[in-house]
Amino acid sequence: MKSLPLHACTPSISSAIINRSYSLLHFTALVALFYYRLSSFLSSKPKPSLPYLLVFASEMLLSIIWLFDQAYMWRPVSRTTFLERLPEDEELPGIDVFICTADHKKEPPLEVMNTVLSAMALDYPPDKLSVYLSDDGGSSLTFQGMREAWLFARSWLPFCRKFGIKIRCPKVYFSSLEDNYSGPLHSLEYEKEKEKIKRKYELFKERVNKAGEIIGSEEATSIKDHPPVIEVINDEPKNVAGIRQAKMPLLVYVSREKRPSHSHHFKAGALNVLLRVSGIMTNSPYILVLDCDMYCNDPTSARQAMCFHLDPKISPSLAFVQFPQKFHNINKNDIYDGQLRKIFVIRWPGIDGLQGPVLSGTGFYMKREALYGNLSEKNVVRLKQSFGHSNEFIRSIHNIYQYSAIKNTESSCKLQQEAQFLSSCTYEKNTLWGEQMGFLYHSVVEDYFTGFILHCKGKTSVFCNPSKPAFLGISTTNLNDLLVQGTRWNSGLFEVTLSKFCPFIYGLSRMPLLQTMCYGYLALQPLYFLPLWCLATLPQLCLLNGISIYPQVSSSWFMVFSFIFLASLLKHLEEILSTGASIQTLLNEQRVWMMKSVTAYTFGSLDAIVKCFGMREASFLPTNKVADDEQVALYQMGKLNFQASTMILTPIITLIILNMVSFIGGVAEMFIAGSWNETFGQVFLSLYILMVNYPVIEGMLLRKDKGRVPTPVTLLSLVITIFLLCLGHMTLRW
């Protein structure tokens, strides 16, 4: 009997038609623009000034990036899964869940434990589920938290199973107003047990927090310097004597060895240790990777992912099933575009119609085999050159899913020794880990790079985007964090672009053209900084010095420029409205893009260039997962928080002041000299920049609260603006 398909893929035909028509029209207009620029360049005497050429170059670069972006629009699809058609529980494959934490101050153990508990409570056979927590901080607090979490899970998991609880992250369950329970309404038994479990949760919370008070801050240096600790969490038999135990997933604490003299490769390094340690313990064929702040919001995600992995038609090439990153702390206004709407709502469903989405760090179910590279090698010596010297691990490679005897004390002692060996600093020396094996080290955005290489090897991926978010995380809610994180991402992206793995060269011969273009877009994204800096300064300085950059309003070429501007705006609007967002979102996204371009993209690109020349080591500053009340209050009001480093604020404020000056100067000139026909384009550009960035102007001139732009930054920016104006005056007027 032919079995029914486990999933369906529906192309969004109307979107594809709109997208392709728009691309064609916009492309034609761009060709006209270049014709105009080139012909006026060739025919004009004297030759146009340097700013003119730079603006031309900026327009070209913007157009190239735009062109690559169109690949995402080509064939958007959406997917559905049919959970009821999955095989029986006994036939489901094992899953190892990897959760990473790095710093107990920025990532409070209680939150991390909530993620751990939500993963343990996934709706999946418990004997096929194992949860590994990697603690790069080596914090005894986190370790203690794990023990408490295990004890609490003893009650929490049976409770969730018994009542079919829909949200299994305890913190969210207890703070949510609606009942996430699928039994008969207000059953007395349920209410009673809920009360009981609530008390247990309070106790659990208290204990985890109390451990924090006792242990305190003794561990400032140990984050970079600690021995390996691997511990299968189990309760003391005396605690549970006589109680019939519920089946529990395996829970393992892993803190790899760290020494200041060794590089640890951040999250990728941590994940590779987990790959090896889990390899000799449970060796499940599938792996779910989660950031410590991303709790499982829908317990059925594992089964959803299996609908793809178990489909014999697609599974041979399928490397991973990616769920979107979604966040629970984003307010309605989303002033920082924390949800990364364009990526997860537009681009990933788009690329899903090609070879599959880019690996996105968290919320993906990966096939273990895909990370091991070529497995046809049987020669043990050569295998050891690739995988390192652990016999146990080499054995695990070829027999996927062998549940070792962890409970047996003697073998468990041996197992632990081996696990410590696998997580030592030196294990990876002279092996292919991070080079061709596991998560790759080359870039701080290990996810993007690892996924890219998988796609280059011909693997595919799937974007699973159910209406109930499978995972929910914490997004950045202040300007500083947003831009620091953005700098890291773009530095990582650009590192790859500058390397021999540059998507245009390395990817083009290994992937279909459209998929290469999608990666090409991400590879070039950091370079947005060049055109944005140029277009935010040069037309303005030219305007103040009587040089016109755009065609006269009366000329028909002006129509071409207007068309390109309006068409992109309308397309953005169409995307926003068709995905149920508001006009405010459009403004927010444009503002965040401009702000990121002149800061995060700029610093990220420079950082990558400096790293490329070996002048700086890679770094990974984990994002803060705790916010103070003041910060939360500003965020809730939808006000930008300008309590950010001077280095990040100054470029933004300087450009705003410069545009204010040029706008006022330009308007005055229009009235006095009647030059509007020549200067309208430039005046409008300034006006547009100012309109989109009105909240910045407000923060600089009108706000009185703590989150306003600090006066010293405004003054510094003013000085730099004056300098730029003088420079423009001297170089443009002779």
Ligand X SMILES: O=c1ccn([C@@H]2O[C@H](COP(=O)(O)OP(=O)(O)O[C@H]3O[C@H](CO)[C@@H](O)[C@H](O)[C@H]3O)[C@@H](O)[C@H]2O)c(=O)[nH]1
Site residues for ligand X, window 357-396 (CB under 6 A)?
A: 361-362
Binds 488, which of Mn ion, ligand X, none (CB < 5 to 8 A, cut-off by type)?
Answer: ligand X
The active-site residue out of 69, 334, 352, 447 is 447
Footprint on residues 234-253 left by ligand X (CB under 6 A): none
Residues with Cβ within 8 Å of residue 345, at least 6 apart in sequence: 324, 579
Q: Is 48 exposed, middle or buried (0-12, 13-18, 19+ CB in 10 A)?
A: middle
The residue number with the shortest CB distance to ligand X is 361
Part in contact with Mn ion (CB under 5 A); list of ranges 291-299, 410-418, 510-518, 546-554: 291-299
447 flagged as catalytic: yes
* Residue 629 appears among annotated catalytic residues: no
Point out the catalytic residue in the list 69, 136, 334, 481.
136
Identify which of residues 279 and 338 has a Cβ nearer to ligand X in the complex.
338
| DSSP-assigned letters across all residues of 83-94 | GGGSPPGGGSPP
SS3 state at 132: strand
The answer to whether 107 contacts ligand X (rule: CB under 6 A) is: yes
Q: Does 444 bind ligand X (CB under 6 A)?
A: yes
Given its phi and psi angles, is residue 444 left (phi above 0), alpha (psi -120 to 50 degrees) or beta?
Answer: alpha
In terms of CB distance, is 268 or 534 closer to Mn ion? 268
DSSP-derived secondary structure for 325-370: P-BSS--TT-TT-TT-HIIIIIIHHHHHTTT-PPP-SSSEEEEHHH
166 annotated as ligand-binding: no
Q: Is 219 annotated as a binding residue?
A: no
Q: Which of 266, 452, 521, 642 binds ligand X (CB under 6 A)?
A: 266
* 104 binding ligand X? (CB under 6 A): no
**Contact string 610-629 vs ligand X (x = CB under 6 A):** ----------x-xx------
- Least separation in angstroms between residue 273's CB and ligand X is 10
Q: Retrieve residue 409's tokens.
A: 């004390």
One of 69, 123, 334, 447 touching ligand X (CB under 6 A): 447
- CB nearer to ligand X: pick between 165 and 270: 270
Dist. CA 32–CA 36, nearest whole Å: 6
What are the structure tokens assigned to 626, written together? 């705790």
| Binding at 607: pick from ligand X, Mn ion, none (beta carbon under 5-8 Å per type) | none
Using the contact rule CB under 5 A, the part of the chain among 286-294, 459-467, 513-521, 674-682 near Mn ion is 286-294
User: Which whole-number Å values give the CA distances from 556 to 552, 553, 611, in the listed order?
Assistant: 8, 8, 47
On whether 210 is known to bind a ligand per the annotation, the reply is: no
Give me the sign of the Cα torsion angle 153, 156, 158, 164: negative
Coil, helix or strand at residue 212: helix
Residue of 117, 151, 251, 445 interacting with ligand X (CB under 6 A): 445
- 270 interacts with, out of ligand X, Mn ion, none, CB within 5 to 8 A per kind: ligand X
| Residue 291 assigned to a binding site | yes
Of residues 454, 31, 434, 504, the one with CA closest to residue 267 = 434
* Structure-block tokens of residue 74: 């080509």
Report the phi/psi class of residue 337: left, alpha or beta, with left for phi > 0 and alpha for psi in -120 to 50: left
What is the spatial distance between Cα 718 and Cα 734, in angstroms, rounded to a whole number? 25
The smaller minimum CB distance to ligand X, of residues 298 and 446, is found at 446
Least separation in angstroms between residue 284's CB and ligand X is 20
Report d(CA 627, CA 638) in Å as an integer.
15
Strand order in the sheet with 318-322: 229-232, 250-255, 129-135, 95-101, 286-291, 364-367, 318-322, 460-463
Which residues make up the interface to Mn ion (CB under 5 A)?
291, 623
Annotated binding residues for UDP-alpha-D-glucose: 106-107, 136
Annotated binding residues: 106-107, 136, 267, 291
Active site amino acids: 136, 447
Which residues make up the interface to ligand X (CB under 6 A)?
100-102, 107, 134, 136, 266-267, 270, 291-292, 361-362, 444-445, 447, 485, 488-489, 492, 620, 622-623
Annotated binding residues for Mn(2+): 267, 291
